[in-house]
Structure 1
Amino acid sequence: MPQPASCQPMTVTPLPTAPERPSRFARVRGERHLGAFAGSVLVALAVLLPILTILLVAAGSSGDTWPHLLRYVLPRSAGTTFLLLFLVALGTGIVGVGCAWVVVAYDFPLRSFFAWALVLPLAVPPYLAAYAFGEFFHYVGPLQSGLRALFGFTSPRDYWFPDIRSTWGAALVVTSVTFPYVYLTARVVFLMQGRNIADVARTLGATPSRVFFRILLPVARPAIVAGIALVMMETLNDIGAVEYLGVRTLTLSVYSTWLNQGSLEGAAQIAAVMLVIVFLLLSAEQWARRKQRFHAARGTQMRSRPPRARLAPMRGLTASVALIVPILFGFGIPVYVFGQYVSRRLYQFSDPQVLQAFVTSVTVAAITAALTLTLALLILNAVRLSRGASTMFLVRLASVGYALPGTILALGLLLSLARLDNFIDGLARSFAGVSTGLLLTGTAASIVIACTIRFLALAESAVRSGLEKLPPNLDLAARSLGKSANQSAFMILLPLLKPALLTAAILVFVDTVKELSATILLRPFGFRTLATHVYENASRGAVEDGAVAALLIIATAIVPVILLSRPLMRDHNT
C-alpha cells in the first residue's frame, strides 16, 4: 500500500557550493614537478654562492689584516660611506617628494611635460654624471668661465667656488640621477591615496600645505622609504663616480684593497661589512613595502581628474623653474658636456676601439638578457606549478642579487669561479691526464654570470607583473581541455606574455650596458665595453675621448625610460 504523499521521506538536495576562486597562478594538483623546483633551488644557490664565499673567506682569514682595516681603512671609509648615504637619502627625499607633490597637487603651464621629463635622469648612470659634472664645474669649464667673464675675475683667488671632487659633490651627482626612484614611488601614492582623503581634508578647511604635511606625507612614508632604500643601494653600488671624485667609500676600499694591495682576504672582510649595510637597507625596503596599502578605488574614481590647485602666473613660473633644475642637473648637464665633445670628435664614431666596445656591450647584454629571462621564467613557472612556502622562499632568495653592489658580487664570484675551475681542472688531471685551465675565471662568461645574478630580480618582477595581469583561469581552462602544465605554459601563457617578456629583456639589456662595477673587476685582459671604455679614458683624465661611448650609453638607456614614461605622457589627468 503506497504511503500518503505527506508521509513520504523527504530528500534534501544540498545547496551548491560556491566555486573555489582560482589563484593567480593556477596550482596543478596530483602531479610532481621536481624539475621546476630543482631548477629554482639551483638558481637560488647560484645567487647565494658569491655571498657565502665572501663570508667564508672573511671568516677563514688568519686575522692579520683586521687590525690594519680597523685602524686605517674602515673608520674613514665607513664614515664617508654613511655620510654619503645620508646626504643622498636627504637629497633624493626632498627633490623626489617635492617634485611629485608639485606635479600632482598643482596645475600650471608645462605640468604634463614635467610629469614625464622628471624621469629622464634615470638614463644617466652615476659614473657618467660624475665625469660630466667634473668637466662642467671645472675651473676651465663653462660655469666658472662664465662667472669669470661676467664678474671680471682673473684668478681662483678672486672668488670662492665649491669643489665638486668631495663628498658633497658625489652626493650631488648621485642625487641628480637617482631622485626619480623616489619621485615615481611618491607620485603613485599621491595619485592613488591622495584623491579622497585630500578632498575630505579640504572640506574641513585644511590648507594645501597642511594637507601635505599632516595627511599625504604620512600616507606616502612607506613608499618614500622604499624608494630611498633603492637609491641608497645604488649609491653603495657605485664605484666609478666615487673613484673619479676622490671619495673613499667602502666600495672603493674593496676595489683598492683587492687590486692595489693584493689582499683578497682584506677585501672580503670589507665586503662582509658592506653586506651588513646591504642587509639593513634590504630589510628597510621590505619593511616599508609591507606597510604599503592601497585603497582599491572604483574605476570611475581612478579615471577622475585629481584635485589640483591652479597656480597664479608667477607661482606657476616659479614651479616650472624649480622642476626644470633637477632635470637640467640630472640629464641636461651630461648630455650637454658629452654632446659638446662629440660635436668636435665625430670621427670617433668610426674609431675601432669604440666599435669594438659597442659590439662587445651589445653581445654581452643580449646574452645576459636571454639567460636572465630564461631563469626568471624558470622560477616563475615553479611558483605557478606549486605555490608552496618553500618555492616562494626560493624565489625571494633568487631575487636578492639586485641588492648586491657589483664590487661585492664580482669579488664573491671571482673566488667561487676560481675554486670551481680548480676543482674541474683537478678532476680532469686525475681522470684524463689533461689540464682544463680556467674555464670561467677571467672570461666574458663571468661578467654574464654576474649581470645575470644582479638583474634576475628585475626580469622576474617585470614578467611577474605581466603574468598577474592575465585572467587567473587560463591554466584551468587549458587543463580542462586536456593540456599538460608545460603545454599550457608554451601554447597559452608565453604568447600572452610577449609584451612583459620584451620589457624585461629591454630592462636587463640596458642595465647590463650601463654596468661598470662588476665589469672592471671581472673582465679579461683586452675586454672593453662602452662603460669600461669611458671609465678608462676618464681615469687618465681624458673624458672627451670617451664622449661617444658615453652618449651611446645614454641613448641606449633612454629606451626603458621612454617605456616607463609612456603612461605619464598619455595620462593627461595625472
Structure 2
Amino acid sequence: MRAILSLSKWQSFAWLIGLLLSAPLLFLINESLQPDSDVFDHLWDTVLWDYVSNTVWLIIGVIILSSIIALPLGWLTAYCAFPGRRFFQWALMLPLAMPTYLIAYVYTDLLDYAGPVQISLRNWFGWQSPDDYWFFDIRTLEGAIVMIALVLYPYLYLIFKTALREQSFKLVQASQLMGKSPLQSFLKVSIPLSRGAIVAGLALISMETMADFATVHYFAVSTLTTAVYDTWLGYYSLTAAAKISGIMLLFLFLALTLERLSRSSDVVHERQATQNSETLYHLIGIKAWGATLWCTFVLGVAFVLPTLVLAGYAIDYHEQAWNREFFTYAWQSFKIALWVSIIVCICAVLMTFYQRISSDRFARLPGKFASTGYALPGTVLAIAVLIPLTLFDEYLNQWLDGSGWEPGLLLSGTIFALVFAYIVRFFAIGQGAVESSYQRISPSLDMASLSLGKSQFQTMYKVHLPLLRRGILTAALLVFIECMKELPAALLLRPFNYETLATHVYQYVSDEQLELASISALFIVLVGLIPLYLVNRSMEHKS
C-alpha cells in the first residue's frame, strides 16, 4: 500500500510537469482557432502568402545547399584518408557555435557596396559607380539561404558521417569489386543506405531554418517567423500571431512526420558494435589535396573568417566593447541560464525516475508532453507562453479588483515569462541527457536498495544521483549554453529595459554597429563551442 501511494505521488508530479510544460502549446492551438476577422484576414488578403512562399523557398534552398556541402564532407571524413582528415573530422562542426545573425552581419559588412571587397574591386578595375559592374546583393533571400546553410550544414554532416561509420564496409567493398568508382559507390551505395539518417538531418535543418529569426529579419526577408514577430509588435494581435504560429506548426508537423517515416522505413542490413575507424580510400596527389582544400574552404568561410573578423573588431574597439554593459548583460544572462538549468535538471531527474519505477505503459507520456516545446521556434514559443500568462494576469487583476492591490503584469511582464519559456523550450535537452545516463544504471541496484529497506526517494537520492552526476552536469551545461544563445524568445518576452547578451548583440547588429558589441559576440561564440567539445569527446570515446 505504501509503495502504491508513493508511486501515485510520483505519477502526479510527472503529469503535473508534463501538463504545465505542454500548456503553452495547448493554449496556442486554442487561441489560433479563435475568430479574428480583422488583422488575420488583412494579412491573408495581402502579404501572408508571400510569407509562406519565402519560408518554403528558404527551407528548400537551405536543404539543397546544406546537402551539397555536408554530404561530400561526411563521406570524405568517414571513408577517405587525406591530409588533415583527423582535424577536419571535428573542426567541421565548429560553425554550429556561430549564431547566424553574426555571420550574416560579417559578410554583409565585407560584401556590401561600402565594404572592403567592392571598394577593392573598384580600385583595381577603375569602376566608378554600380552602373559599371554587377555584384550580387547579399541582403536577399538567396543571401539568407547561404548564411543559414553555412551554420546549419554540420547537423547533416555529423548525422551522415556517423551513419557511414556505423555501416559495414563490406557493401562498399563489394561495389569496388564490381568495378564501381568511389563516386559511383557514394551515389549508389552510401547515399541509399543512409537515406534515413539524411532525411533526419534535413528535417532538423528545416526546423532550425524555419525557426531562424535574426538573419531573415536583418536581411528584410519576410518569413512566417518574422510575421509572428511583426504581427504581435505591430498589430498587437495575439490571436493573429497565434494563427500564423499555427501555420508554422503544420510545417513542423510535416517535418517531424517525414523524419519518423524515414526512420521506420530505414532497413539496417548489418549491425556493428563499434564504429569503423579505418578508411576505405587512400587519396593521393591532386585528389588528396583537393579534399583538404574543400574542407579548408568550407571551414574558413563558415567559421574561421567570421571569427577572425569578430576578433579584429574586439581588438580595434575594445575600449568601447569592454564596458559595464557587457558585464551587466552577461551577469543577467548567467542568472537566467543558471536558474533554468537547475530547474530543468531537477524536473528531468524526477520525470525520468518516475518512468523508471512505473510499469504503466503510459509512463512516458508526461515526458513526451513536457518535451513538445523544443520543436517550437522562439517566436512561436513566445506567443504560446504569453497566452496563458496574460490570461492568468487578467484573471488575477479582476479577482483583486477593489482590494487595493493591483499586481499588474505579474507574470507576463516580468522575468518569470522568460524563465518559463526557456524551461519549456529546453526541457527536452535536459531530459535526453538524463535519460541517457539513467539507461546505464542497472535495475539490480534498485532492487538491492529496496531490499535493504530504502524508500524510492532514498534510492534515487543515495544510489542514482551519485551515478548520474556526469549526465546531470552535461544536461545542465547544454541547457545553460542554449539559454545564453536564445534570441527570438528573449526579444519578445524580456521585461522593459532588460537585456541579455543575445539581445544586446542583436540590437547592435540591427544598428549596423556590431563592432561596439564584438566582445559580447565573441563570448557567445566561445560559449557555443563547449557542447561541440563534449560531442567530439563522446564520439571519440565511442569509437
The answer to whether the superposition gives a TM-score over 0.5 is yes
Match of 1:270 among 244, 252, 262: 244
Which residue matches 2:185?
211
CA distance in 1, matches of 2:375, 2:51: 20
CA distance in 1, matches of 2:334, 2:71: 35
Which residue matches 2:420?
449
Which residue matches 2:316?
344
Which residue matches 1:474?
445
Deviation at 1:397, TM superposition (A): 1.7
Q: Percent identity?
A: 34
Question: Rg larger in 1 or in 2?
Answer: 1
Match of 1:358 among 330, 343, 346: 330
Contact 1:254–1:267 under 8 Å retained in 2 = yes
Counterpart secondary structure, 2:447: helix
Match of 1:261 among 235, 239, 242: 235
Q: Which amino acid aligns with 1:275?
A: L
Deviation at 1:257, TM superposition (A): 1.3
Which residue matches 2:94?
120
Q: Which amino acid aligns with 1:442?
A: G
Q: 1:330 to 1:501 in 2, by over 3 A?
A: same
Which residue matches 1:487?
458
* Cα deviation code 1:311-338 (max 9, x no counterpart): 1121111111111222122212321221
Contact 1:127–1:238 under 8 Å retained in 2 = no
CA distance in 1, matches of 2:25, 2:457: 33
User: 5+ residue gaps in structure 2?
Assistant: none
Counting only pairs closer than 5 Å after superposition, residues 134-533 of structure 1 correspond to structure 2 as: 134-292=108-266, 297=271, 299=273, 302=274, 305-429=277-401, 434-533=405-504
Farther off after superposition, 174-183 or 321-330:
321-330
Q: Which amino acid aligns with 2:490?
A: T
Q: Report the count of equivalent residues.
A: 542
Contact 1:258–1:267 under 8 Å retained in 2 = yes
Deviation at 1:231, TM superposition (A): 1.2
Deviation at 1:200, TM superposition (A): 3.3
* Cα deviation code 1:293-318 (max 9, x no counterpart): 6577455xx36643321111211111
Counterpart secondary structure, 2:180: coil
Which residue matches 2:61?
87
Which residue matches 1:48?
22
CA distance in 2, matches of 1:153, 1:314: 37
Counterpart secondary structure, 1:183: helix
Q: Which amino acid aligns with 2:476?
A: A
Q: 1:205 to 1:71 in 2, by over 3 A?
A: same
CA distance in 1, matches of 2:244, 2:272: 51
CA distance in 1, matches of 2:476, 2:352: 15
Contact 2:99–2:151 under 8 Å retained in 1 = yes
Which residue matches 1:4?
none
Deviation at 1:86, TM superposition (A): 0.5
CA distance in 1, matches of 2:468, 2:270: 25
CA distance in 2, matches of 1:373, 1:570: 24
Q: Which amino acid aligns with 1:399?
A: S
Counterpart secondary structure, 2:411: coil
CA distance in 2, matches of 1:143, 1:312: 35
Does 2:82 correspond to 1:111? no
Counterpart secondary structure, 2:194: helix
Contact 1:192–1:294 under 8 Å retained in 2 = no
Which residue matches 1:554?
525
Contact 1:348–1:354 under 8 Å retained in 2 = no
Contact 1:349–1:548 under 8 Å retained in 2 = yes
Farther off after superposition, 512-521 or 560-569:
560-569
CA distance in 2, matches of 1:554, 1:447: 22
Contact 1:510–1:556 under 8 Å retained in 2 = yes
Contact 2:100–2:147 under 8 Å retained in 1 = yes
CA distance in 2, matches of 1:557, 1:407: 21
Contact 1:516–1:531 under 8 Å retained in 2 = yes
Contact 1:112–1:569 under 8 Å retained in 2 = no
Contact 2:29–2:242 under 8 Å retained in 1 = yes
Which residue matches 2:50?
76
Contact 2:36–2:240 under 8 Å retained in 1 = no
Query: What is the alpha-carbon root mean square deviation over aligned residues?
Result: 2.2
Which residue matches 1:535?
506
Q: Which amino acid aligns with 1:351?
A: N
Q: 1:33 to 1:323 in 2, by over 3 A?
A: same
Contact 2:168–2:270 under 8 Å retained in 1 = no
Counterpart secondary structure, 1:318: helix
Farther off after superposition, 184-193 or 433-442:
433-442
Contact 1:96–1:182 under 8 Å retained in 2 = yes
Deviation at 1:133, TM superposition (A): 2.1
Q: 1:325 to 1:29 in 2, by over 3 A?
A: farther
CA distance in 2, matches of 1:125, 1:293: 36
Q: 1:378 to 1:567 in 2, by over 3 A?
A: closer
CA distance in 1, matches of 2:320, 2:431: 37
* Cα deviation code 1:31-70 (max 9, x no counterpart): 6512222222222222322222222222222423343122
Deviation at 1:290, TM superposition (A): 3.5
CA distance in 2, matches of 1:54, 1:141: 43
Which residue matches 2:9?
35
Counterpart secondary structure, 1:390: coil
TM-score, normalised via structure 2 length:
0.94
CA distance in 2, matches of 1:268, 1:411: 7
Contact 1:349–1:355 under 8 Å retained in 2 = no
